[in-house]
A and B are shown apart, each in its own frame.
Chain A
Amino acid sequence: MSGEWLVRRIIGIIPVLVLTWTLVFIAMHLIPGDPVSLILGGTPASEEVLQAERHNLGLDRPVLAQFFDFLRRAATGDFGLSFTTRQPVIAMIGSQLPYTLSLAGGGLLVGGVFGTLLGTLAGLRPNGWADMAVMTSALMGLSLPTFWIGMVLIYVFGNVLRWVPIVGTGFSSLILPSITVGLFLAGGLARLIRASIIEIQSQDYIRTARAKGLWPVTIVAKHIARNAVIPPITLLGVQFALLIGGAVVTERVFARPGIGNLLVEGVLSKDYPLVQGVVTMTTAGYIIINLLIDVLYGLIDPRISRA
């Protein structure tokens, strides 16, 4: 991979970041109502108090000045104070992030392992009974409402069988949420891996490997599976978006702390600095993850970075 390509890719995300943040800024200004009266929680206040608060927040300045101020502060992670808790938004996000990241990691692990195994199983014998079974379950996985399957898991494993704790934040309480997030991912991933495996099996080097009498397990492990994971990596960005969506919902189902819960609470309580902060940070994270995936793909497949 050439260094120049990498630098160009990194510089390329800056305008995208600025433009997405511009959209967030515009969206927040489209919200009807006066933010100051929201902060004061509807308590009646004199015009002087309102003016003073407006001045404190910089809301009496020209929109363009507010916009550049927002961009400058967003770049340093300063989103002001939450309307409801009066704490810095960035601190609230920071304290919740580990919960969301551990859930996302658990979901990715469950989804990655099951998706790859099932996709490989299906792709090796297309149209066989295993393929039919896997593809039907994959479609079911994609159709299952994440929040519903989460509740069903809570009922079955938490209430009826009592195998795992339902509440709490320890490791064992991460099992059901991870499965909930992972099931959805596994469905999509299994379909991608299957298509990839079918494609690879018709390649010449697989025929060569078969012809020289290699052990079938070796062919699958060394020649097929290793190459089959490359194309789905390009779609990891999409999977990551699903992961974020899954995490938001799953946190709600399991009453877990996390970024998703923060965002939903923020919208429901009209805590706009909080909403602005979470959306801005999530979007930045999403764009950066997509950049990393691109770089990873460039490392695996040199043709991309040379193009």
Chain B
Amino acid sequence: MSAAVAAPREAPVLRRLLAAPGASIGAVVLVVLVGCALAAPLIVPFHWNETRVCTRLAAPSAVHLFGCDLYGRDLFSRVMYGGRFSLSVGVATVAVSLVFGGLFGTAIGYAGGRVDAIGSRAIDVMLGFPPIIMAILVVAVLGVGLWNSALAVGIAGIPRFARVVRGATLTLAGREFVEGAHAIGAGRSRVVRRHLLPNLAPTLIVLTSLDLGNAVLATATLSFLGLGAQPPAPEWGAMLNAGREFIRYAPWTMLFPGAALFLAVMAVNLVGDRLSQVLDPRQRGRG
């Protein structure tokens, strides 16, 4: 999966992407969720950290659609604001994996020889850690916190990105147009910028879109474990951690933040799945 993304006779990527019902549903849900997060101050009736706006652990009602938490905070307001935390942290996480993993993979794949041999070994060693264990280890070093957990999950994703990008770069580096560029005297940095990166783009987009859902889930997981977002931040995972105590008496405290998280990840995965089909030449004509 590399070059020839948009052969002239094919419909634009966006149109083919949305042709599948699953992907368009996912896209709509995603737009709604991002919209809610952005417009949260306009939509919600209360500030996310305003306590005692209702009875402690009050059940959902017309005024408090999702009910209330232990401190009498309006859960609807908190879930709407939560998107700002959970979604932006997920994006930041993938950005870390993409930038560092992508650069590393491109560098060693293009350099080849000993550099590639040593670099690949380094990737193998990092892959020796189960991702969640690696992320928890990084949190142990950096300390708990929302952005530290994003960095931790991002670092744990670096070897996955690096390995795929290295492979794709290796294939590209042997192609005629790269050899041609070298032959007419193009410098290494020019070859990387003008020839490698544009052709790596589909690979990178697919990787990113497939990993984004995971990233949102993994950072929320760390927050749920108490290693990411700390109270009173309305991050969805952290809210679920708080709701864990009240499954029996006030299930709404865990039901709505979890549903929001699930919807967000499902929407991202629906779009990502379809995107990988559209951009992957091997999947052409399969639907």
Which chain A residues have a beta carbon within 8 Å of chain B's beta carbons?
16-17, 19-20, 23-24, 27-28, 30-31, 127, 136, 139-140, 142-149, 151-152, 154-155, 159, 240-241, 244-245, 248-249, 252-253, 263-264, 266-268, 272, 275, 279, 282-283, 286-287
Contacts and interface: CB of A to CB of B under 8 A. Distances in A.
Contact of A155 (B131, B251, B269): B251
A155 to B, nearest CB: 5
The 4 tightest CB contacts between A and B, nearest first, are A148-B258, A143-B266, A245-B132, A241-B130
Nearest to B263: A143
B15 interface: no
17 contacts: A31-B141, A139-B266, A139-B269, A145-B217, A145-B240, A145-B262, A155-B251, A155-B255, A244-B133, A248-B225, A252-B225, A263-B136, A267-B227, A268-B144, A268-B227, A282-B130, A282-B133
Contacts of B144: 267-268
Contact of B131 (A151, A241, A267, A287): A241
Given A148-B240, A249-B225, A283 B133 contact: yes
Interface majority SS (helix, strand, loop, mixed), chain B: helix
Interface majority SS (helix, strand, loop, mixed), chain A: helix
Interface residues of B, number: 45
A27 B137 CA distance: 8
B22 A136 contact: yes
B188 interface: no
Given A245-B130, A264-B225, A139 B244 contact: no
A192 B22 CA distance: 20
B132 A244 contact: yes
Interface in B95-152: 121, 124-126, 128-133, 136-141, 144
Contacts of B53: none
Contacts of A140: 266
A147 B224 CA distance: 8
A279 B133 contact: yes
Given A24-B137, A143-B269, A287-B128, 19 more contacts: A16-B124, A16-B125, A20-B128, A127-B287, A139-B269, A140-B266, A142-B213, A143-B217, A144-B265, A147-B237, A148-B258, A155-B247, A155-B251, A249-B224, A263-B136, A264-B225, A268-B227, A283-B130, A286-B128
B137 A245 contact: no
B210 to A, nearest CB: 10
Contacts of A272: 140
Contact of B227 (A17, A159, A264, A287): A264
Contacts of B224: 145, 147, 249, 252
A263 to B, nearest CB: 6
B84 to A, nearest CB: 18
A145 B261 contact: yes
Nearest to A31: B141
B254 interface: yes
Given A142-B269, A248-B132, A19 B137 contact: no
Contacts of B139: 267
Nearest to B128: A20
A98 B211 CA distance: 32
B243 interface: yes
Contacts of A249: 221, 224-225
A24 B138 CA distance: 10
Contacts of A283: 128-130, 133
Contact of B262 (A27, A30, A144): A144
B72 interface: no
B17 interface: no
A147 B225 CA distance: 9
Nearest to A268: B226
A143 B265 CA distance: 5
B258 A152 contact: yes
Contacts of A275: 136-137, 140
